């Protein structure tokens, strides 16, 4: 299978409500979709899950576009590829996992469509639908009442797990009131690296709220610090930003820095590496779940397929389309009884709606081998 062209679609998609975390507030999602076109005209899609600025991690959308144009496209275009082959070839570019994942997923999607195979079947999915959780940002007003209103909306919608974003000064009280209002709902928190080792005993105060986990309390490089936090807390510690590969996942487990893992395909350079991390954790009996990056239907379709693998025993951030967007670039993913259906069509199982793609686009650039 020879890839003749890569088309980069830059979109702007307003969020239905501001999404605030410890590293900033988003009002509009800057989206970049990669469309891969092979020599027979078959097309595949991948989503670049960078943010518009390097606040969450080192990659950002404009930088990812530049990396694809200057370094990844020359590797991919005009050559005959298998999914494993293109992933291995792109490893000559150090880092830039999200950029590599977007190109690799688009190529994988073409390959699977030609083979009439769904991504779920290719990865080894064992479920036809997946339990869905939802991530709740810090209210821009820092109002407890606003938080309760938003959480209540998601509970009424049927979500099977609630995740609260926290930071110093916004942690014990909001968690306490949510737990008091909903004493049995699965609940977890996400710090996005906002704390330090000195907060260990403070974070241990969260133990009384029967949380599923505390996600990424410290800086991503602080393995020893996470081990110290894990010793201080009875609540399981989960790593997210720290997990960049199968090796880093194994290190986190062996060092006692985490007892479960958030697998984000973009962060680990694609779905093939995500599957390897899943397999490792399944063999070690370590629970995993699928994180989210406010994906459109393109990224969401692929994430839902991954989340249907047997090791994904915790509900992920695979929310319905209307959690983030009034209108998705694809047919919307709709929550039914707290679950999303795993796409069964070839490849990722969805494509953009042409009119939506055109109306949301702010730029389109085509890269060819000639």
Q: Are 342 and 316 in contact (CB under 8 A)?
A: no
Cα angle value 203/244/73 (rounded, 5°): 145
In angstroms, the CA 34 to CA 92 distance is 20
**Three-state secondary structure of 209-227:** HCCCCEECCCCCCCHHHHH
Which position among 69, 264, 276, 285 bears the catalytic label? 264
Kindly tell me the burial class for residue 233, based on how many C-beta atoms sit within 10 Å of its own C-beta (0-12, 13-18, 19 or more).
Answer: buried
Residue whose entry in the numeric block shows the structure tokens 């083979």: 115
SS3 10: strand
Helix (H) or strand (E) holding 329: none
Active site residue 165: yes
Q: In the structure, how many helices (H) and strands (E) does the chain have?
A: 13, 13
Which position among 69, 91, 163, 165 bears the catalytic label? 165
Cβ neighbors of 369 (< 8 A, separation 6 or more) are 4, 77, 78
Crossing angle of helices 97-114 and 83-90, in 10° steps, is 160
Q: Six-digit token pair at 128? A: 């036809």
In angstroms, the CA 67 to CA 71 distance is 5
* Closest to 311 measured CA to CA, from 333, 284, 329, 339: 284
**Which residues, in sequence order, are bridge partners of residue 10?**
32, 363
In angstroms, the CA 87 to CA 287 distance is 26
| Burial 25-48, CB ≥16 within 10 A → b, else e | ebeebbbbbbbbbbeeebbbbbbb
| C-alpha pair distances (Å), 137 with each of 187, 190, 209, 333, 348 | 14, 10, 19, 21, 28
Active-site positions? 165, 264
């Amino acid at each position: 299978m020879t890839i003749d062209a890569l088309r980069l679609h830059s979109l702007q998609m307003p969020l239905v409500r501001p999404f605030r975390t410890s590293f900033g507030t988003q009002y509009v999602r800057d989206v970049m979709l990669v469309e891969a076109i092979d020599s027979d005209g078959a097309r595949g899609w991948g989503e670049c899950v960078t943010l518009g600025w390097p606040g969450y991690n080192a990659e950002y959308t404009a930088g990812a576009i530049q990396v694809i144009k200057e370094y990844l496209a020359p590797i991919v275009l005009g050559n005959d590829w298998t999914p494993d082959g293109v992933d291995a070839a792109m490893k000559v570019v150090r880092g830039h996992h999200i950029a590599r994942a977007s190109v690799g997923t688009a190529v994988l999607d073409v390959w699977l469509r030609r083979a009439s195979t769904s991504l779920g079947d290719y990865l080894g999915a064992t479920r036809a639908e997946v339990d869905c959780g939802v991530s709740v940002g810090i209210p821009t007003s820092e109002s407890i009442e606003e938080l309760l209103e938003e959480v209540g909306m998601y509970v009424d919608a049927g979500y099977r797990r609630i995740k609260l974003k926290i930071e110093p000064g916004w942690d014990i009280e909001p968690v306490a009131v949510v737990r008091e209002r909903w004493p049995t709902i699965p609940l977890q928190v996400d710090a996005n690296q906002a704390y330090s080792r000195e907060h260990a005993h403070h974070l241990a105060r969260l133990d009384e709220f029967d949380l599923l986990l505390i996600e990424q309390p410290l800086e991503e490089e602080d393995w020893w610090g996470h081990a110290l936090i894990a010793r201080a807390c009875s609540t399981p510690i989960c790593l997210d930003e720290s997990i960049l590969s199968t090796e880093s996942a194994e290190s986190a487990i062996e060092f006692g820095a985490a007892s479960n893992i958030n697998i984000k395909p973009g962060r680990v350079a694609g779905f093939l590496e995500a599957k390897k991390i899943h397999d490792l954790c399944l063999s070690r009996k370590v629970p995993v779940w699928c994180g989210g990056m406010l994906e459109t239907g393109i990224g969401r379709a692929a994430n839902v397929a991954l989340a249907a693998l047997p090791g994904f025993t915790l509900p992920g951030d695979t929310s319905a389309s209307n959690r983030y967007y009034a209108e998705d670039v694809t047919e919307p993913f709709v929550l039914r009884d707290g679950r999303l259906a795993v796409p069964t069509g070839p490849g990722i199982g969805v494509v953009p709606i042409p009119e939506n793609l055109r109306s949301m686009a702010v730029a389109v650039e085509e890269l060819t081998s000639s």
